[in-house]
Chains A and B, each alone.
Chain A
Amino acid sequence: MTHQETWETVKGCKTRIMRKGQGAPLLFLHGASGAGRWLPFMETLSQDFDVIVPEHPGFGGSDTPDWLDGINDLAFFYLDLIEQLGLGPVHLVGTSLGGWIAAEMAVRNCSQLRSLTLVAAAGIHVPGVKRADMFMMSPEELVQNLFHDPAMAAAMPAPANQDELMVVLKNRLMTAKLGWSPRFHNPDLKKWLHRVQVPTLILWGDDDKLMPPAYGPAYQALIPNSRLEIIPACGHLPHVEKAEEFTRTTVAFLQGAA
């Protein structure tokens, strides 16, 4: 059976949502490149969980609401979405930009969360550890920097038509709006990460060229009940590049946390 694709209007924003599976709800928040397709890791997770993959306001098929100015707006938006759709408590999994949103949600309100999984998450700044600047990269350079394995990067398809290119540009525009300055972090977030009171898993690829692996231990030190897993020979997208290891580690953690 294939996944469902539905549209929900939350806070006036028509939001595209993909969903499939049985079990405890798992809300997955995507990164800067959007949530275009139902990916193999989603399929695997859906064997054990009710996997819900919204596309963020301002990305892909979702509307761009007037109220969307920064990452805080998305954190409150998703807390509203969980409430409105009656999803909670959820396992919250966020990657990169989505990991940042997830962390911002968790410092605000953990009451509707069962657990938190941050995958190569943006959101904090580690002094002296330079992130790569995706905004200076051509589309080709960006893809090369996303993966450990160059063959995997080479296999990533370029936009096939005008509509797909428009989605790429739209996602990039909203990514800039959210993460241009301060670059992919909120200077206040680390002050409040002690408020995350649910079991937390932090996952990082050991060869993440965009968000260096040193960010993993920094997050781990700031969140009380958290543990860190480093995935070897892996870039910025563990759920794509090492999908099997990613799902195995995540499912084991979530089942332990439930």
Chain B
Amino acid sequence: MKFYMMHLMPYADLDLDYDQTYNSAWITLPNSYYDPKKGAKLYNRYLDELEYADVLGFDGICVNEHHQNAYGLMPQPGVMAGALARRTKNVKIAILGRALPLLNNPVTVAEEFAMIDNITEGRFIAGFVRGIGAEYHAWSSNPATSHERFHEAHDLIIRAWTETGPFAFEGKHYQFEYVNLWPRPYTTPRPPIWIPSQGSSETIDWASHPDRRYTYLQTFTPVAMLAKYMQMYKDKAEQHGYQATEDQLGWSVPIYVAETDEIAMREARPHIENFLNKFLRMPKEMLLPPGYLSLQSMMGVMQAKSSIGTKQTIESVMEKGIFICGSPATVREKLKDYHAQIGFGHLLSLMQFGTLPADLTKKNMELYATEVMPWLRAQGVGVQAAAE
């Protein structure tokens, strides 16, 4: 198993009483709530944290893209990856990802990713997503064509990376007379590709196809669902006539480690609850614009009793395995068990969440890197992935 530190770079100085006036920390929350003086400090703090992950021996660090919100301040994650490319030496840098359907010109992402792959001499992992529904409000991109734009942009980027240019591209949404990428990616034939998702059989079917065999990354999901989707990937691979490796399966989860279970819960509680109830807060219409889900899936959502708006507690997310929190021994055992049951090769830990301050983030990272990671490595957990 390989260990990554994921960062969302939230605006941790957010006035948490915003929700007395606004119904979301996304899209409609006025940016007068953002103070650049505080934001500047946060950016540099968060970059320091990711650079420290390199020193602590993580295998990789991960950034991602969200627009017009206090939840994650990386509308252009390539800027972060660029800053990290020169300051880190060993870690892989993953952009998880760019939201392809938002793009007016997908070649920009082919170029940007190829540049980072060159600068880092191949320490780069490419992530492609559709983005969460709110991004379609933020960028006025049509959610009804989200799927077809995703696939067309993906095909164009892969061709740009792997085919000798110049070539012409004639798609429904994108047309180019000349596609001729300078620079080509450092990695041959192309950087590894990860597909983050909150769970979709359609995405799993596509990612597991023998032409792609992309790493499927399950994010923010109860452990029971994680197991279901990981098994679905393995089954799909088998139907396609091959066996999926652990390298094709990843899990992204917030983790907090402290001296004891009791200290861990006490320290994490306000920050994980802020993360869930303040930073993730948004109405259903913002999260799920028309076309973002299939009509059948949308029907399920409309009929399900809405959990949006109900307060989540640290207990509720720990019980579901959406959040892992405790002493090093507790966290080790949980991860070992989950790994044994589910078999993922990449574990992404979100070590700063919501309002978690710098000192606690650092302590969390250090305890995890010294008391959890080496122990799991020594157990031989994920030998298969490590041997690749």
Contact = CB atoms under 8 A, between A and B. Distances in A.
Interface of A: 135-138, 162, 165-166, 169-170, 172-177, 180-181, 183
Contact of A176 (B289, B299, B302): B289
A183 B299 contact: no
Contacts of B141: 180-181
Contacts of B286: 136
Nearest to B144: A177
A173 B142 CA distance: 10
A143 to B, nearest CB: 14
A136 B140 contact: no
4 interchain residue pairs of minimum CB distance: A177-B144, A176-B290, A180-B142, A181-B140
Given A176-B142, A176-B143, A180-B144, A135 B289 contact: yes
A176 B286 CA distance: 13
B298 interface: yes
A163 to B, nearest CB: 10
Interface residues of B, number: 21
Dominant secondary structure at the A interface? helix
Interface in B238-270: none
Nearest to A135: B289
B284 interface: yes
Contacts of A173: 144, 290-291, 295
A177 B145 CA distance: 7
A177 B143 CA distance: 8
B283 A176 contact: no
Interface of B: 28, 136-137, 140-145, 283-286, 289-291, 295, 298-299, 302-303
A213 B371 CA distance: 66
A135 B137 contact: yes
Dominant secondary structure at the B interface? helix
A135 B302 contact: no
Given A176-B143, A176-B291, A136 B284 contact: no
B198 to A, nearest CB: 20
A136 B291 contact: no
A173 B289 CA distance: 9
Given A173-B290, A173-B295, A177-B145, A183 B140 contact: yes
A169 B295 contact: yes
B291 to A, nearest CB: 5
B137 A177 contact: no
Contacts of A176: 142-144, 289-291
5 contacts: A136-B137, A169-B298, A169-B302, A173-B144, A180-B143
B110 to A, nearest CB: 24
A180 B295 CA distance: 17
Contacts of B302: 165, 169
Contacts of B289: 135, 176, 180
A172 B140 CA distance: 16
Given A137-B285, A138-B283, A177 B142 contact: yes
A177 B149 CA distance: 13
A174 B140 CA distance: 16
A136 B285 contact: yes
